[in-house]
Structure 1
Amino acid sequence: MGENKRLRFPFDFKEITEEEKLEIKRLFNYPKIDLIRVGPKDYLMPRAYIEHAENIYNLPIRSSDVYVASFQRAGTTWTQELVWLLANDFDYETALSVPITHRYPFLEIYMLYTEWRKDCLANIDKVESIEKKERILKMLEVMCQPVTEKLAAMPSPRFIKTHLPMSFLPPNIVDTAKVIYIARDARDIAVSSYHHARLFRVLDFIGEFKDFWDIFRSDRFIQSPYFEHVKEAWNLRHHPNMLFLFYEELAKDLPAVVRRVADFLGKEVTEEQMTRLCDHLSFENFKKNKAVNYEDLKEFDIVSPKENFIRRGKAHGWHDYFDEEMTQQADQWIEDSLRDTDLRFPNV
């Protein structure tokens, strides 16, 4: 997309309410979270998104690009690894040695870390080890450099991760590149997002799960509303360049999903390759894989030592968290949210 065809970002921005600001201050310990609403669906985004929205909307798309998209905690990392290995002829040596954050630029991650980066740089002289300073600076480059700049210099094929709704991405994305979208039961997303918000210091959620559930189902968590996010991708599921997956399908029959992804990418998979890939992607092996589990970030105090990025690898684990009232709330919320669509989540 050339500069002469640059498109205006089509959505407006508006401030969150004072009530929402007070709730964020009460439940999130990091004091510099600053959120706004975007567009007619009121997606909740970091304020830094305002500066970069148009650049992302006009991102030049290559026909060889592969995007893995989702709302957070839907099985994104699992899907990324599956896609990358199929597309790269089962290069396990690279997959085990190069962090997935380096293999997949995360399109909007830097927006969350604008203020965090300032804090890190302000305190970097307190770090005595030159080697650790260098590692911190490298980490900040990965987390905080606008990915639009990084992508322009990357060779093809590019593998890109995003949690942005489809309407925020370039309008020609599915006409040009391949997009794999992964969705998951909203109740499991809520549970996993709760732990995620406790894991990453940039959020540092300090409430109980019930507090988080109230926030999540009322569309007051980052990049909510959840169902609008999923429905945007669902409405594109018949496009030949869009593959829509459910987390529950991966959990129930991983080989079947591998075959669907392989067909989508135009790849062949032998039985021997299938066996090794499914073993590599098994939860027990995945949670021990340092290239995908973000354990290295604990060194930089970006993540809490009390939580893990790869948690349980389980579908419908929400039953362990929901009481009867919350279950009834969820049933009604899901019914209301899916009333205008044929989208239904697998009950496995």
Structure 2
Amino acid sequence: MEKAKAHTMFCGMTELSVLDLVPVREGGTLSEAYEAAAGLARVAEEAGYKRFWVAEHHAMEGIGGAATSVVLAHIGHATSTIRIGSGGIMLPNHNPFVIAEQFGTLDALFPGRIDLGLGRAPGADGRIRQAFRKDLMKAAGDFPQDVMELAAYFSGQEDISLRPNPGFGADIEMWALGSSLYGAQLAAALGLPYAFAAHFAPDHLDDALAIYRRDFKPLERLDKPHVMVAMNVFAAEEADEAERLASSQLQSFVRLRTGSPGKLPPPVDGYRESLGPMERRIVEHVSLASAVGTPDMVREKIGDFVKRTQADEIIVAGATYEPQARETSLRLTAEALAS
């Protein structure tokens, strides 16, 4: 049976996508996390989501997406029509030529389905510089040139003498990612679609989108600004259950921000009410771009967010301890927002 190819639309204009961090839960294994990611991607495809992105993080026992291109190959073999990609590849960690080869390989395996979202953060704490044996500060400064180098490879620019194979002339949709004003400025200058990580860093959202749209320079590959915004979404039949499911990710955020990250913990009833002042501030901040509740509640909150941002796409994040709970959340969200 052929899987659905139509993308879920909100009010006929805003498409839905999925961001997955490949969470590794307490008491669970990496193998289980990868199996869950593949299952979630299949559900997203069947429900009509446009993209399924995996993010690069390093040295974090609760996140399994470090070898992003390998995980995407796994996701690609589990699906057939949904676009798959990085949200994102942290380019200063890598050589652009090697990334061109990796994503060129993905394009050859899954033609016409590959996105390459690029960020300039390291995806880990400062110790990663020693592990990578690389000057990441300098590499971050080279980020614009490295992005343009990748674009030249994928465009099949004729004056390139050493050509990545696979990769040269590959059909890759490149994106600039950001959680500050820098990414917006770069995306505008290079004429790239832009994705903002409001799900964990909402502070500069409105200013970044305004700068991107104001300064966007149309190019052949994209003739007008195109914005995707990430938000946390947890949908369940009952509002209390949605809040309970969201508590696993909220616990992870609090642990990360207070210096004790780990695997994804089980949900806790009444978690928000149990917090002290500092932890409550962390939760309130990360919840600024969130929709948690029943399908009707989620539809209203996402609708308000779309009106505020005028986003062309919303990419939904939100790890749950039980993989089936997130699958249900994706289905309920798609059904609630379908036009």
Q: Same fold (TM over 0.5)?
A: no
Task: Work out which structure has the larger RCO, using CA pairs closer than 8 Å and 6 or more positions apart in sequence.
Answer: 1
Higher strand content, 1 or 2: 2
TM-score (norm 1): 0.29
Higher helix content, 1 or 2: 1
